Amino acid sequence: MTRLRTAKGRKVSSTRWLERQLNDPYVKKAKAEGYRSRAAYKLIELDERFGLLKGVKAVVDLGIAPGGWSQVVRRKSPAARIAGIDLLPTEPIDGVTILQMDFMGDDAPDRLREALGSDQADFVMSDMAANTVGHPQTDHLRTMALVEAGLEFAKEVLRPGGAYLAKVLAGGADNSLVAELKRHFTSVKHAKPPASRKDSSEWYVIAQGFKGRDEG
| Residue 139 marked as a ligand binder | no
**Tell me, what's the pLDDT at 29?**
85
The span from the CA of 47 to the CA of 72, in Å, is 10
Q: What is the mean pLDDT of residues 123-148?
A: 85
- Give the CA count within 13 Å in the CB-facing half-sphere of 102: 4
Long-range contacts of 88-93 (CB under 8 A, 24+ apart): 89/65, 90/64, 90/65, 90/66, 91/36, 91/66, 91/67, 93/67
- Distance separating alpha carbons of residues 166 and 189, to the nearest angstrom: 11
Q: Which residue has the higher pLDDT, 164 or 9?
A: 164
Consult the annotation and say whether 69 binds a ligand.
yes
pLDDT at 138 over 90: no
Q: Specify the pTM.
A: 0.86
pLDDT of residue 111: 96
- Known binder of ligand: residue 119? no
CATH fit for domain 38-210, picks 3.40.190.10, 3.20.20.150, 3.40.50.300, 3.40.50.150: 3.40.50.150
* pLDDT value for 215: 46
Which residue among 42, 155, 167, 192 is the active-site one?
167
Asked if residue 67 belongs to a known ligand binding site, the reply is yes
Query: For 140-170, b where at least 16 C-beta lie within 10 A, e where not — what string?
Result: bebbbebbbbbbebbbebbbeebbbbbbbbe
Is the pLDDT score of 92 beyond 90? Answer: yes
**167 is a catalytic site residue:** yes
Q: What are the extents of the domains in the chain?
A: 1-33, 38-210
Q: Say whether 174 counts as a known binding-site residue.
A: no
Tell me what pLDDT residue 7 has: 54
CB distance 67 to 34 below 8 Å: no
Q: How confident is the model over 164-196, as pLDDT tens digits? A: 999 987 766 788 999 999 999 999 999 999 998
**Structure-model confidence comparison of residues 168 and 43, the more confident one:** 43
More confident residue, 136 or 100: 100
